[in-house]
Structure 1
């Protein structure tokens, strides 16, 4: 298969619904929020079967049921493969585990389709690499789901480069993304080959927790304090209104051209993220933020 894969499948900004239940929106309020995001140009949505203890997908689907026409205006990305313990009773209890078996993938997709009140998932990701994953078995599930039209595209989440390559070697079509944690606070993907592989294969990684789960604002450890100071200085230099805009600009500067997953239900912050697309920083500014994170200069 050619190293050059398909054109961009996932937009630069994706609305994440991990905390949907925390936002405490009624179904109608969720519909209104979706419509406002669509008007702003954000139409790709990120989910997972386990979010909200298996309730977030259904809550999102209940909102879609009130306004069915919205379904054709958005893309639904969801994940499967994590199975939390049902009960924990010491050594005799059940354990949290991963399940990338054919049976579980097929059952999870059927459940997600029902939860979303839809006939297709636009992108399905395997949520975490499974130590027992059988690439042939996973590809069998992917191929069948694609033939049936239940899932249009496939990708992975939190996979190492070798794990993605192994799965890709068994698939007859390109995987479209690897969703990983990445922020100025958590830069593992810059050094472990993940982002290099995405650039090599011309796929766009999805970045979750771009603001480090709020640690960039609230933490008082040395790394966070260095970053807060540097991000504030760069914000002044590039005309950013806030340090979160600087972070989005810093991430967007990556040559793999990632898709950034927003985790907020606050439209003001959503608009701020969109405005960051007009910002740019030079290499020296980018590396100053890298240096603030690592605590040292490049060699």
Structure 2
């Protein structure tokens, strides 16, 4: 089956598949099984896979790459988002053993090359700086990103967990447009809808990639059961579908980065993407998790 390769982070890319928990699925650590899983997602029209160099201590990128090396045809269709810039305490080779951020030019340049090799791909679709670094020298970072893009190593760039003034500082110092900001947003984390963060994404035309879109998978523990049951009956959506439908309805259509690799959970999320909640229900769910009515 021939599939068209999409470009950009558009409404036609309804869902991003997060690879952070790949190690939670031991059966998928075998290249053949992971390749089957990737192929099944491509058949569902899902071709965006989200990685970071720290996921699984680097093993998640390698395992994904092993599957692509075993089945090179998948590498032509899969699009990879990956991130760099965080050093976990157990990976700190200094005597201090402290979690910290690294955005030095040489470090990011090496991180991009390392990701390409580990993932067995010719181009990173979207490269993100994983966290804002107070020590970041923005001119050096801009040069590295621009060089990677001009060399074809990276198609587009973005940021992760940046606040508006942080991403604007980077955007103002590079000729490359920022495609997206990946940060937390869900029914369980609604603060950015009320502090101007949403409007900043819209004004700056940054696509919001929403991590933890299911709020840790415990919405049933946060929404009264009678409300949840009524919402299920009215919409035909399960808990996952309701959470994704609620998120997708926000202006700009934030793209969920789904942490679950369970095919059933992915299908529920897709059903949520295709659904529109009645506005009163959208607010009732919001009210339930915030435990307060809107002003």
TM over 0.5: yes
Q: Which of the residues 18, 21, 30 maps onto 1:19?
A: 21
Q: Do residues 66 (structure 1) and 70 (structure 2) align?
A: yes
CA–CA separation in structure 2 for the residues paired with 1:53 and 1:188: 30
Cα distance, 1:87–1:65 mapped onto 2, change above 3 Å: closer
Q: Do residues 127 (structure 1) and 130 (structure 2) align?
A: yes
**Residue of structure 1 in register with 2:39 after alignment:** 35
Number of aligned residue pairs:
285
Task: Kindly indicate whether the alpha-carbon contact (under 8 Å) linking 1:161 and 1:193 is maintained by their aligned counterparts in 2.
Answer: no
Equivalences for residues 50-89 of structure 1 within 5 A: 50-86=54-90
Note the C-alpha offset of 1:85. 2.3
TM-score, normalization by structure 2? 0.91
**Residue of structure 2 in register with 1:246 after alignment:** 242
Q: Which of the residues 47, 52, 57 maps onto 1:48?
A: 52
Cα distance, 1:8–1:232 mapped onto 2, change above 3 Å: farther
Report the aligned-residue RMSD. Answer: 1.9
Per-residue displacement from partner, 1:30-53 (whole Å, max 9, x unpaired)? 000000000011110000000001
Cα distance, 1:252–1:88 mapped onto 2, change above 3 Å: closer
Q: Which of the residues 212, 231, 243 maps onto 2:228?
A: 231
Per-residue displacement from partner, 1:98-125 (whole Å, max 9, x unpaired)? 0111111101111101101122101001
SS in 2 for 1:176: strand
SS in 2 for 1:55: helix
Cα distance, 1:229–1:55 mapped onto 2, change above 3 Å: farther
TM-score, normalization by structure 1? 0.90
Note the C-alpha offset of 1:141. 1.0
Q: Do residues 284 (structure 1) and 284 (structure 2) align?
A: no
Q: Do residues 147 (structure 1) and 150 (structure 2) align?
A: yes
CA–CA separation in structure 1 for the residues paired with 2:195 and 2:137: 23
Listed as ranges, the gaps of 5+ residues in structure 1 are 1-6
Q: Do residues 161 (structure 1) and 150 (structure 2) align?
A: no
4+ residue runs of structure 1 moved beyond 3 angstroms?
A: 86-89, 228-232
**Residue of structure 1 in register with 2:9 after alignment:** 9
CA–CA separation in structure 2 for the residues paired with 1:163 and 1:143: 18
Task: Kindly indicate whether the alpha-carbon contact (under 8 Å) linking 1:232 and 1:243 is maintained by their aligned counterparts in 2.
Answer: no
Per-residue displacement from partner, 1:111-164 (whole Å, max 9, x unpaired)? 101101122101001111111112212111111101111111000011001101
Of residues 229-238 and 127-136 in structure 1, the stretch that sits farther from structure 2 once superposed is: 229-238
Of residues 249-258 and 80-89 in structure 1, the stretch that sits farther from structure 2 once superposed is: 80-89
**Residue of structure 2 in register with 1:4 after alignment:** none
CA–CA separation in structure 1 for the residues paired with 2:233 and 2:154: 44
Task: Kindly indicate whether the alpha-carbon contact (under 8 Å) linking 1:30 and 1:63 is maintained by their aligned counterparts in 2.
Answer: yes
SS in 2 for 1:256: coil
